[in-house]
Structure 1
Amino acid sequence: MAHPLEPLVIRHTHRLPAPSGPAGQGGVAARQFDAALMSVGFKLSAALLERLSELSEETVVATAARTLDTVREMAGNHVQHNVYFIDFPANVPDAFDFWMRCIAEALADDTSRNGTLAQLRTGVVDLLTLPSYGNYQHTYAEMLAAHDELIAAAGDRTTVVHLGGSPDDEVTALYLALAGSTTPLGEEDLRDLRSLAEHCVDSPQPEAIPVRESRAVINVARLHAGRDLLLDTVTDVLRLACALSDGDVALVEPTRFRSLPRPVRRALLAGLDSVVAATPAKLADVAAHREAFKRLGERLHPHEYPRWPHAADVFAVARGEKEARSFDSHIEELLRSNDVTGATQLLKTAPGKLFRSLDRLLRESLTQDERDAVVAAAEQVAPQVSGRVLLSVREHLHNRAREAGERRVFVNRRGGAWATADNRPPLLPPECKRLIDVLDADTRRRLPQPGHLFIDPDILDVALPLSGKATAAGLGVLPRGSLSPVDGELLRFFVYWKQKSDDTDYDLSALMLDAEYATVCWLSYTALTEVEGEHSGDITEAPLGAWEFINLRLNAVRGTFIVPQVNIFSGEGFETVEESFFGFMLRDAEQRGLPFEPRTVRMKSELRGPGRVALPLAFLLGSDGRWRAKWLHLYLRGNPNANRVEENRVSVAALLRGIVERDYLTVRHLTDLMADRATAITLWDGTTIPDGPVTYIGLERPDGLHPDSLIVTPENLRALIPG
């Protein structure tokens, strides 16, 4: 019987928990399983193939069926990928000619002729009223018959599925990795952590749970199991209440609290009471989320429980009936009176806040003595600050030294983005350098002894995942700001969506910009063909799911940047539809094949964010003539309806400039800090594997590494961030 959380292990680790069952002659079935995996871009490791070959054929077949379901979904191959133009990318018409054909067909149709004639008399025709526009004109089977089989190429993606330990060990290890993450998790990872926490409530627990959002979902499992809650601030209780109502545990979006059972209300009130009783000053934290606490109080009825008076104080503060001055208000008072040194000394008691305030403190320092005091305070408390904050501040200071007068790009936790002019005065280089030296020294001290450092060069330009919010869920997805090579002749984007209840029209577009971020051209439903490539056609509703594709010949692109985007023309948003995802494929020119071939998929990411325009990534042409992907994971607010690439070119260009011209802290930074303590450093050439244990850092785990190796890939890249 398979472990119910086996798909989570495969998705997160690319490891299959060791299959178990009767011994037998499973070699033939195992090789067939391997072949089926290769057809969707995956492959069994040598150790896993050997293990399966020792089991009965029935066990191998059952293992193959459920594993194939998981990896097909990872690559986006779990849904049928039809296209509007049956032999796309061949024979795609000019957009205007296509519209004229649709009008001619509408005039030939008795049911639509009169309405179309009436529109023609006004000089404007609504494409959506034409019977042949926006709906598939052929079945999926007919589309399959119109295409040749894909020709395999050496450049096709191969993701190796490795042999894991026992199912329980793999699930526990994944739980410990997510629960102990030093960086905030994305929404899908948080959902997975919640499932894992429910299963692992009696299993070994991490030594620490550094991220408050993670603690909240773990507390849900502990509450339901009757375990002690992990609470040390009143905000921990608020996050737990949000988690119980399936709300936002990051406290960015308001949560509509549900009616809670009496035992749960008692547990939350008891938790609040114990936190405040132990440290009354923590009442000051209520002010930051006053409205949320007021709404929670309406659900908890604290007046019914006089035995927990400190819990009642929390809601009295929220209502303004009791004063609890916040730490931040003390800091603001000191800065308003120009007492930078006093504010710095007070902030030393909250090291994380001090580091997040360094830019402001330095800007408001009027004398060298004040600047020296700020730097000295940072030096003193640096060992008490989390590694994630050290690295975030390090990246910030590096860019502040080179961004004066440029535009700033703001990205919130959900990927919502906007750009504005940077009017901040510059920071002085001496203080920036002194602080950067402090940050690098403390980071180096915390990094592990790497031993033999074995590095895949392609990972060096991957941005450090300082927040899981900067990475979408999916296959081959990298954190915002990462650069990755793009090697192929044909680049093909795809978007899939399936509406939940309302007719929904998503439009895939690609904007080409020159080196100055000016528009060169675009491909969209209004421009189906260009020198660069073809658009697969506009699908205007998706009750059964819909696909759109864009095919590009990279050697024909007139420009320096390619910016794919998904515009919501009408209907449900990215967070409302039943399913939506974006990705890209790479092919050689002679490969042909179906519009969607899973083994050529290099990246597939979920579209789950605010706004009505999604910008998953962009492609940059380097001075060396090579294309590279720059990962964005951004969402523009857009318009309620009718978003089009033509209308958002300026805002897209401004955001792209801000991301492209910002220096992100990458894996290279940490490997450079580790290098002087490594016993050896090897750059992987794709073939030679060292004999002994190594610290491997790369995009894909090579088969054949020593079992005692420490392995870091994008799936667990957060493990590089020191605590």
Structure 2
Amino acid sequence: MGHGLASLIIRHTHRLPAPTGPAGDGAVAARQLDAALMSVGFKLSAELLAHLSELSEGTVVDTAAHTLHAVRTRLGDHVEHNAYFRDFPAHVPATLDFWMQCIAEALADDTARAGTLAQLRTGVLDLLTLPSYGNYQHTYAEMLAAHDELIAAAGDRMTVLHLGGSLADETTAAYLALAGSSTPLGDDDRNDLRLLAEHGASGPQPEAIPVRENRALINQVRLEKGADLLLDTVTDVLRLACALSDGDVTLLEPTRFRALSRPVRRALLAGLDRVIAASPAKLADVPAHREPWKRLGERLHPHEYPRWPHAAEVFAVARGEQRARSLAGRAEECLAMHNIVGAVELLTSAPGKLFRALDRLLRDALTQAERDAVVAAAERVAPQVSGRVLLAVREHLHNRAEETGERRVFVNRRGRAWVTADARPPVLPAERERLTAAVDAELRRRLPTPRHLLIDPAVLDVALPLSGKATTSGLGVLPRGSISPVEGELLRFFVYWKQTSRTTDFDLSALMLNADYSTHSWLSYTALTGVGGEHSGDITDAPDGASEFINLRLDAVPGTFIVPQVNVFSGEGFDEVEESFFGFMLRDAEQRGRPFEPRTVRMKSELRGPGRVALPLAFQRGTDGRWRAKWLHLYLTGTPTSNQVEGNRVSVATLLRGIVAREYLTVRYLADLMADSATTVTRWEGGSLPDEPVTYLGLERPEGLHPDSQVITPGNLRDLIPA
């Protein structure tokens, strides 16, 4: 468990919890660990190297084993990345030549000849029936032997591992950070929180646990430990019940509730009773999840516990036997009668709901007096609205065009995306400007007032993570909407997947689009070469894991956009396979090396989402000729089988147009607000660091920063979101 927690800390913070053990001369083992880390693009900080050198050799060797495993897993280097074409990217044949070769080999095979001839007579040939198609024709060791060593380059990534505190202190800090997050977490972070809660749920707690999903996971552990539950709404109890059944605490997917023990049933019913006894109006939350409540009632048997009558009311409302009017329902009645002022007065008691409804209220307002009433109410309640909602509304207002007819992009909390025409009437400039000013002022008031703000300009275009669902776990992954420069001559995508039980075929493709989003060309298993690049070959079965690559020479790529995508052609989906991830590498043209070189990996993200087509990010060539990445983290529904880049290029282009046009709130926005109150603001692009504590914003914590500094990097960017 200790090594598992240490690996979790490394993933989240790039800090190694200070190893403990007998003193000794571990200098040689520490230097060997440093060398092994540098071979995959990591290194020990000077402080960490010195700490390890003073421990016994055995302690350092034990530390090295789990540290290397954690780092290599984070990079995707924990598996063997073979390529169908052994010499890739060299000697990749033209597509038709390759297919003819596979046919010739099938005709030379006594077991395959008859079936191949029969297909050829019909004029239609299934490539998957050819013995040499879709399966590795060489071992991983034979592929390695065909490639020269990677030549070191100045642009290779080097990530520093820093010395952390004790494992107990780091575990507590990680628990407090995730439990107290002001934004919802992604699936992997929620799993980490569940693990951390086992160690932290009965210890120090954050001042608040604003995300209800986090509270459900913590309550699950508190219930197991016999601690008091953290409940203040009926939905808290429903989420906890989902957690106890290993269901979906976000309530997006239905949960099949398990039979619950009598002590657990008593705890849930007692909790419900306390919530309703304290505030009967909270029964109005039940109808929003009527069906799950009815199914949960079948497991809790509330009629057996007459001492908790308020709990029984919850299920009476769910069954429709008792009425509970919600605030949203009453506001809808006002809007149906065009009573804008009445709706606003109701919603001021729920400031977050009012802010989420601002656009609709302003669209429906017919007079200036009504619009003034809406804005005045928003200005009045802004101090009571969460920072995440304020930021979301600020971003919405910034993108709210006055003209109608623009495309509108929707992305749900699981990353599934769709586009529709925007036929909404405009929100008038005067109201948008007043609301924008009110939000800016409120956020400025809540942000810290750093004495010295130190900013790495590379982080300024990173989008604010208003939801953990806007990103995925991995290395170098940035929130949806972030923009980052692409420095290198060769861009290489990779995908790895390992099926769970069924034959599964993932296909890596790259779509090239012109400036007007029309299709220029693509690379895929149906187009192995061209447009300045090569595809590594189609793998159609992955019982032991499989990889596909696309190699591109950026100066030879046509068009304006490169859109890598992963299509599920057949078999298990992204949520079903045992493991799957995507990433990209950047290299200089003369570096050579294997198809997968961990030192050159710039980004590796898990593929876990709905749909059958994954769009992790896109690359855009600017007017200055330089390439930049825009992060998407999107999934398209696709079709049950046979998804191909050729079939979804129109929907991808339409979606990309909407995403590229949207301007996301970035670190730059909050940094500008913080700079208004900072004593000193410094742009730091390398070189010496201040001797004093600073508030540092950057992509990575630099070595030599004052230990008392507050450090904000993409790993803890959620800490920048005001409560």
SS of corresponding position for 2:549:
strand
In the aligned structure 2, how far is the partner of 1:97 from the partner of 1:265? 66
Cα distance change of structure 1 residues 171 and 593 upon mapping to structure 2, 3 Å threshold:
same
Is this contact kept in 1: 2:402–2:427, CA < 8 A? no
Aligned amino acid, residue 609 of structure 1: G
**Residue of structure 2 in register with 1:271 after alignment:** 271
In the aligned structure 1, how far is the partner of 2:205 from the partner of 2:402? 43
Q: CA deviation at 1:257?
A: 1.1
How far does the alpha carbon of each residue in 1:368-417 deviate from its partner, in whole angstroms, 9 at most, with x for none? 00000000000000000000100000000110135632111100000000
Aligned amino acid, residue 657 of structure 2: R
**Residue of structure 1 in register with 2:697 after alignment:** 697
**Residue of structure 1 in register with 2:281 after alignment:** 281
**Residue of structure 1 in register with 2:513 after alignment:** 513
Q: CA deviation at 1:636?
A: 0.1
SS of corresponding position for 1:538:
coil
How far does the alpha carbon of each residue in 1:474-508 deviate from its partner, in whole angstroms, 9 at most, with x for none? 11000000001110000000000000000000000
Aligned amino acid, residue 492 of structure 2: R
In the aligned structure 2, how far is the partner of 1:94 from the partner of 1:633? 32
In the aligned structure 1, how far is the partner of 2:256 from the partner of 2:486? 44
In the aligned structure 1, how far is the partner of 2:425 from the partner of 2:236? 37
How far does the alpha carbon of each residue in 1:423-460 deviate from its partner, in whole angstroms, 9 at most, with x for none? 11111000000000000000000000111111111110
In the aligned structure 2, how far is the partner of 1:162 from the partner of 1:261? 45
Is this contact kept in 2: 1:401–1:429, CA < 8 A? no
In the aligned structure 2, how far is the partner of 1:20 from the partner of 1:314? 52
**Residue of structure 2 in register with 1:372 after alignment:** 372
Q: CA deviation at 1:685?
A: 1.6
Q: CA deviation at 1:259?
A: 1.3
**Residue of structure 2 in register with 1:171 after alignment:** 171
SS of corresponding position for 1:603:
strand
Q: Give structure 2 stretches of 5+ with no counterpart.
A: none
Is this contact kept in 2: 1:492–1:584, CA < 8 A? yes
Aligned amino acid, residue 124 of structure 2: V
> Are 2:138 and 1:138 equivalent residues in the alignment?
yes
Cα distance change of structure 1 residues 293 and 15 upon mapping to structure 2, 3 Å threshold:
same
In the aligned structure 2, how far is the partner of 1:670 from the partner of 1:397? 16
How far does the alpha carbon of each residue in 1:32-81 deviate from its partner, in whole angstroms, 9 at most, with x for none? 10010011111101110010011111111110111000000000000000
**Residue of structure 1 in register with 2:94 after alignment:** 94
In the aligned structure 2, how far is the partner of 1:32 from the partner of 1:134? 40
Q: Give structure 1 stretches of 5+ with no counterpart.
A: none
**Residue of structure 2 in register with 1:583 after alignment:** 583
**Residue of structure 1 in register with 2:476 after alignment:** 476
Is this contact kept in 2: 1:179–1:193, CA < 8 A? yes
Written as runs of structure 1 = structure 2, the 5 A alignment for 1:618-633 is 618-633=618-633
Is this contact kept in 2: 1:472–1:633, CA < 8 A? yes
> Are 2:220 and 1:258 equivalent residues in the alignment?
no
In the aligned structure 1, how far is the partner of 2:444 from the partner of 2:113? 74
**Residue of structure 2 in register with 1:596 after alignment:** 596
How far does the alpha carbon of each residue in 1:670-717 deviate from its partner, in whole angstroms, 9 at most, with x for none? 011011211211111222211211110001110010011000000000
**Residue of structure 1 in register with 2:363 after alignment:** 363
**Residue of structure 2 in register with 1:243 after alignment:** 243
Q: CA deviation at 1:361?
A: 0.3
SS of corresponding position for 1:681:
strand
In the aligned structure 2, how far is the partner of 1:292 from the partner of 1:651? 34
Q: CA deviation at 1:2?
A: 4.1
**Residue of structure 1 in register with 2:320 after alignment:** 320
In the aligned structure 2, how far is the partner of 1:372 from the partner of 1:210? 31
**Residue of structure 2 in register with 1:42 after alignment:** 42
**Residue of structure 2 in register with 1:19 after alignment:** 19
**Residue of structure 1 in register with 2:654 after alignment:** 654
Is this contact kept in 2: 1:401–1:432, CA < 8 A? no
Aligned amino acid, residue 529 of structure 2: T
How far does the alpha carbon of each residue in 1:625-645 deviate from its partner, in whole angstroms, 9 at most, with x for none? 111110000000000000000
In the aligned structure 2, how far is the partner of 1:88 from the partner of 1:420? 41
Aligned amino acid, residue 247 of structure 1: G
Aligned amino acid, residue 567 of structure 2: N
Written as runs of structure 1 = structure 2, the 5 A alignment for 1:435-474 is 435-474=435-474
In the aligned structure 2, how far is the partner of 1:680 from the partner of 1:270? 53
Is this contact kept in 2: 1:696–1:711, CA < 8 A? yes
In the aligned structure 2, how far is the partner of 1:694 from the partner of 1:402? 41
**Residue of structure 2 in register with 1:65 after alignment:** 65
In the aligned structure 1, how far is the partner of 2:639 from the partner of 2:578? 21
In the aligned structure 2, how far is the partner of 1:153 from the partner of 1:10? 26
> Are 2:551 and 1:551 equivalent residues in the alignment?
yes
In the aligned structure 2, how far is the partner of 1:586 from the partner of 1:172? 36
Aligned amino acid, residue 90 of structure 1: A
How far does the alpha carbon of each residue in 1:498-548 deviate from its partner, in whole angstroms, 9 at most, with x for none? 000000000000000011101010000000001320000000010000000
Is this contact kept in 1: 2:15–2:162, CA < 8 A? yes
In the aligned structure 2, how far is the partner of 1:402 from the partner of 1:633? 28
**Residue of structure 2 in register with 1:329 after alignment:** 329
> Are 2:685 and 1:713 equivalent residues in the alignment?
no
Greater alpha carbon shift after TM alignment, 196-205 vs 379-388:
196-205
> Are 2:477 and 1:494 equivalent residues in the alignment?
no
Cα distance change of structure 1 residues 499 and 690 upon mapping to structure 2, 3 Å threshold:
same
How far does the alpha carbon of each residue in 1:99-122 deviate from its partner, in whole angstroms, 9 at most, with x for none? 111011001000000000000000
Is this contact kept in 1: 2:404–2:425, CA < 8 A? yes
Q: CA deviation at 1:159?
A: 1.0
In the aligned structure 2, how far is the partner of 1:410 from the partner of 1:514? 24
In the aligned structure 2, how far is the partner of 1:264 from the partner of 1:507? 46
In the aligned structure 2, how far is the partner of 1:561 from the partner of 1:531? 12
Cα distance change of structure 1 residues 475 and 685 upon mapping to structure 2, 3 Å threshold:
same
**Residue of structure 2 in register with 1:616 after alignment:** 616
Cα distance change of structure 1 residues 338 and 402 upon mapping to structure 2, 3 Å threshold:
closer
SS of corresponding position for 1:25:
coil
Aligned amino acid, residue 102 of structure 1: C
Aligned amino acid, residue 30 of structure 2: A
Q: CA deviation at 1:202?
A: 2.4
State the aligned residue count: 723
- TM-score normalised by length of structure 2: 0.99
RMSD of aligned alpha carbons = 0.9
In the aligned structure 1, how far is the partner of 2:568 from the partner of 2:290? 35
Is this contact kept in 1: 2:290–2:319, CA < 8 A? yes
Q: CA deviation at 1:201?
A: 2.2
How far does the alpha carbon of each residue in 1:238-293 deviate from its partner, in whole angstroms, 9 at most, with x for none? 01111111111111111111111111111111111111111111111000000111
Aligned amino acid, residue 251 of structure 1: L
**Residue of structure 1 in register with 2:688 after alignment:** 688
Written as runs of structure 1 = structure 2, the 5 A alignment for 1:660-679 is 660-679=660-679
Is this contact kept in 1: 2:387–2:721, CA < 8 A? yes
Q: CA deviation at 1:15?
A: 0.3
In the aligned structure 2, how far is the partner of 1:425 from the partner of 1:60? 65
SS of corresponding position for 2:258:
coil
SS of corresponding position for 2:73:
helix
SS of corresponding position for 1:660:
helix
Q: CA deviation at 1:188?
A: 0.5
